[in-house]
């Protein structure tokens, strides 16, 4: 099975890895249809999990970027508190 990873001449070993899985599974006594079903299901699971991970990573990156923009646009919390305190003390002094 590792040979199919080395010989993968297509992007992601598409087709090569599946052929390797089918060959190994049929050699172990599994029927050709079951082996093909397993190989295709395995590839689908790989693509779906990779896609979900990619979407989650992009969403997290966008969220972090948005958070950084908001946090740099607002004054620091302690300066807001000082401003509010100064305004409250100034109102009482008048």
Tokens 């990156």, located at residue: 61
Report the pLDDT value the prediction gives residue 86, as an integer from 0 to 100.
75
At a CB cut-off of 8 Å and minimum separation 6, what does 83 contact?
75
Tell me the whole-structure pTM to 2 decimals.
0.57
Tokens 């190989």, located at residue: 39
pLDDT(13) > 80: no
Compute the Cα dihedral for 36, 37, 40, 43 and give only its sign: negative
Beta carbons of 4 and 16 less than 8 angstroms apart = yes
pLDDT(94) > 70: no
Element (H, E) at 63: helix 32-73
């Amino acid at each position: 099975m590792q040979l199919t990873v080395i010989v993968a001449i297509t992007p992601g070993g598409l087709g090569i890895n599946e052929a390797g899985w089918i060959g190994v599974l049929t050699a172990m006594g599994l029927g050709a249809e079951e082996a093909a079903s397993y190989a295709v299901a395995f590839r689908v699971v790989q693509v779906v999990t990779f896609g979900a991970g990619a979407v989650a990573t992009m969403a997290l990156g966008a969220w972090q970027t948005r958070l950084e923009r908001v946090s740099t646009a607002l004054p620091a919390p302690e300066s807001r508190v000082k401003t509010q305190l100064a305004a409250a003390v100034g109102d009482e002094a008048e």
